Structure 1
Amino acid sequence: MRSPDIAILGGGIGGLATAAFLHRAGLPCTVYEQASELKELGAGLVVAPNAARLLRRLGVLDVFLRRAVELEVGWEFRRWEDGTILSAENLTTECVRLYGEQTYTAHRADLLDVIKSAVPDGTVRLGRRAVELRHDGDRPVLLFEDGERVEPDVLIGADGVHSVVRRSLAGSAPARVSGLSAFRALVPAERAPSFARRPAQTLWIGPDHHLVHYPISAGAFVNLVAVAPAGEYSVESWTATATVEELLTEFDGWDPRLRALIRAAGVPGRWALLDRLPLRQWSRGTVTLLGDAAHPMFPFFGQGAAQAIEDAAVLAGCLAEDVTDPARALRRYEQLRLPRTTRLQEVSHGRSHINHLPDGPDQEARDKSFTEADPLVANGWIYGYDPEVEMSA
């Protein structure tokens, strides 16, 4: 039985995870990446149990742990003006007890590297910038900047929020302005205060702002992600930058310890958080979307990369189980994944309001609720998810 000719557009975490899971299922593919080398921009991310479970299945978790940081504390909420701890979760024992895996933090580049190690040599073609997707009957035709045409049996668009494939399937409706922008920065561990070097994921919350920090790169750096009002800022790019002074201004009046951490940071990146409604459909025939191309989400649950890896596992499984009818396999993939990713898009969207309440009765009620809540249990629908169980249901 001939395997379908599978093309993946995009060599980021989602695209390479798809190639890795396809290889695991015995299905060859080709990845087309526009960059001249495989690398991840940005900085840190959280690898929760639902993603760690899949790295283990790919056989790369042990290598990943050489550079990752195993969190002992998570969901540590602190009050903006004085750092009062409102709640904290013990992850050391509870993650494994509840979900069979730990929670880690890592540099995005380290995660990309370990996933790449599960992809056979020769799978990725670099320097391939796609400009258009056409159709020749039922067959997709991908056109590249240099005039090359690729006509695969199956095309997977893992090419991010500005996806060429998404534009062809869902049109080019502009994203909505959310009113928020995000900053990211790295602080060398030797310059970071001791409270920020702990193996903890900490969220400082206050009026109209919040800031998250945790160690990455085997503890060599502390990763910062801050969310603030966007004002007139509208650039959605991983390469755009700000200044430390701009980031400090956003947190004027906050706890001096947090401001000291910001002062120690390198040049911050900055990007606008643009709002995209969930798609009702992301597959057509033998073309589909994956990761941010399908379901871009705000970063407030730290699930962007994890959902792309889940997509990859389910998509590979669907194609492997229905290799003679790829269009039917892609419909099943969409049916399995769309409800979950839509729900995550929606809850991520709502989190900014909760984190950014001004001081007052609503904020006091929120802070009180933190002492009564158990987010590790409450988010079990996220962390306990297993694609193989989902597909066998």
Structure 2
Amino acid sequence: MKKVNNAEASWTFCPECQGRGKKSRGLSMKARRQYKIALDQFEKTKGEGTAPVHPKGHLYTCLNCNGSGLLPSASHPIADKENFPHVAIIGGGIGGVALAVACLHRGIPFTLYERDINFEARSQGYGLTLQQASKAIEGLGIFSLEKGVISTRHMVHTTDGKVIGEWGIRKWMQTDEKTYTKRTNVHIARQSLRLALLEQLGGHDAVQWGHQLINFAASDGEGVDMTFEVNGAIQRSNADLVVGADGIRSSVRRLLIGDDSTPLRYLGCIVILGICPLSALEGMNSSLLDSATVFQTANGNERIYIMPYTSDSVMWQLSFPMTEKEAKALSAQGPQALKEEACRRTQWHDPIPQILAATLEAKISGYPVYDRELLQSELLEKGGKVTLLGDAAHPMSPFKGQGANQALLDALMLARGISKGCNSSSQWRKAGIRESVLTVFESEMLERSASKVKDSAAAAQFLHSEIVLHEGDEPRGRCLNKKDQ
């Protein structure tokens, strides 16, 4: 990534591509002719069969903004309250703040509500891996991540330390250098990324903290009326569009479609997380702790995954099968019990026992793993001027590292959709925000994320089975995909 001071930079959308990062070359004469022939044939049959789909022009990267959709600016654009809808974003996590940032860059008015009383109120301190979103965050004005760590090697071991899989740029290029021009995964603390996004908004004051959503309903006038509890008192507000970005236990989702239609689905395992500073591992000299290696060890039941958290610390994630009742009980016992259980189950090769032993209880958490069945577009259609994104729309297990990635992509796609569908000539107020923006957004979001939800649920099973011990220089589970082909 280019080194840019995100906190000091202001951005505005690129007029060449209208902030989308890509431009269309338009349709060739051949494509136009073929579509017209197909359409004429369909009309001659009086609508029998399937109507031809209008072809789309080939997209190419906008050279004016280098694909980010943004250009440097002396200041952010002034919110266009006359033409754009006012967006109420419920939830100040990664997805919600990302949507606010994407709206800011496009002059879309918004208000960001968060139930926590401040940034530090609730632990969101575990790490995440930017995969597809490592490029997409440039569309959010983040062109450098000072606290991001790039991994160049991924290794899989049996419990005695035997290597049964290795991949990554370092393997393929047979070099020990840590800097590459090719695309790589970026590991970063969730709070560090969240803070980088908040800096785009001008800091913590851009969030309406301590706002717990109680209810919402279609306004007698226009938009949606919302009711919040704030410091024990009731406050009301109104917006043209409400976006639930409030996580797997989303209040917006519950109020919109209820919990009964798509309840939480327990995936049969518990996750215990910890963060350990490398300085706590005195005398431990291991190539696995070079701040550029991700490694995992498994035995067909327990599985631990360890990745760089910062340049001088690692995050570990231990998971294993357990009944839902047992998982809830263990989680409720707190960090000490979680640490004892983790240590008991992982007397494996170095440096795993040492890492877990050196991890402070204050840096340990654990929870049963849930997702939900895939959401169908029909359930959202009745939402009118309300929609969902991120874990509120498509929660998934953490085993494919896709939750934050998909939330970031959702946020950018929705803001771009609003910018395109609600411009001054769109007459979106007459057509409605759902027809102008939400129907297409939800369809594309759910289609894109569906495979991630399925793969993440499958990973919750095969990572705790003999399949994980398959020998091969490839991510675990890829052998299953080969069998299906």
Bin of the TM-score, shorter chain as denominator length: 0.7 to 0.9
- Partners of 2:475 and 2:117 lie apart in 1 by 45
- Partners of 2:320 and 2:91 lie apart in 1 by 30
CA contact (8 A) 2:128 2:190 kept: no
Report whether the alignment pairs 1:68 with 2:148.
yes
Aligned to 2:483: none
Aligned to 2:470: 367
Aligned to 1:386: none
My pick for the range that moved more, 21-30 or 36-45, is 36-45
- Paired residue for 1:273, among 369, 376, 381? 369
Mapping 1:180-259, distance limit 5 Å: 180-192=269-281, 193=284, 194-198=286-290, 199-217=292-310, 219-231=311-323, 232-234=326-328, 241=335, 242-251=337-346, 253-255=347-349, 257-259=351-353
CA contact (8 A) 2:225 2:238 kept: yes
> Matched residues, percent identical?
24
Listed one character per residue, the Cα deviations across residues 246-287 of structure 1 (whole Å, up to 9, x for unaligned) are 211233x53353222211112220111124211113452110
- Partners of 2:183 and 2:477 lie apart in 1 by 13
- Paired residue for 2:157, among 78, 81, 87? 78
**Secondary structure at the residue paired with 2:327?**
coil
Aligned to 1:387: none
How far is 1:172 from its partner? 1.6
CA contact (8 A) 2:245 2:391 kept: yes
Listed one character per residue, the Cα deviations across residues 61-111 of structure 1 (whole Å, up to 9, x for unaligned) are 32x2x211111213x2111x212121222236979xx99633111111111
How far is 1:237 from its partner? 8.3
How far is 1:132 from its partner? 2.1
Aligned to 1:112: 194
Report the residue type matching 1:326 in the other structure.
I
- Partners of 2:445 and 2:170 lie apart in 1 by 30
**Secondary structure at the residue paired with 1:60?**
coil
**Higher-Rg member (1/2):** 2
**Secondary structure at the residue paired with 1:148?**
strand
**Secondary structure at the residue paired with 2:359?**
coil
Aligned to 2:34: none
- Partners of 1:228 and 1:377 lie apart in 2 by 20
Report whether the alignment pairs 1:144 with 2:228.
yes
Aligned to 1:261: 355
**Secondary structure at the residue paired with 1:204?**
strand
Structure 2 CA distance for partners of 1:375 and 1:280, relative to 1, 3 Å? same
Report whether the alignment pairs 1:335 with 2:422.
no
Structure 2 CA distance for partners of 1:377 and 1:230, relative to 1, 3 Å? closer
- Partners of 1:376 and 1:250 lie apart in 2 by 23
My pick for the range that moved more, 193-202 or 148-157, is 193-202
Aligned to 2:259: 172
How far is 1:376 from its partner? 12
- Partners of 1:238 and 1:276 lie apart in 2 by 22
How far is 1:196 from its partner? 4.2
- Partners of 2:95 and 2:171 lie apart in 1 by 29
- Partners of 1:225 and 1:92 lie apart in 2 by 23
Listed one character per residue, the Cα deviations across residues 189-222 of structure 1 (whole Å, up to 9, x for unaligned) are 11234344221111212222211111222x2211
**Secondary structure at the residue paired with 2:351?**
helix
Structure 2 CA distance for partners of 1:276 and 1:205, relative to 1, 3 Å? same
How far is 1:54 from its partner? 1.8
**Unaligned runs of at least 5 residues, structure 1:** 379-393
What is the number of equivalent residue pairs in this alignment?
365
Greater relative contact order (CA < 8 Å, ≥ 6 in sequence) = 1
CA contact (8 A) 2:384 2:434 kept: yes
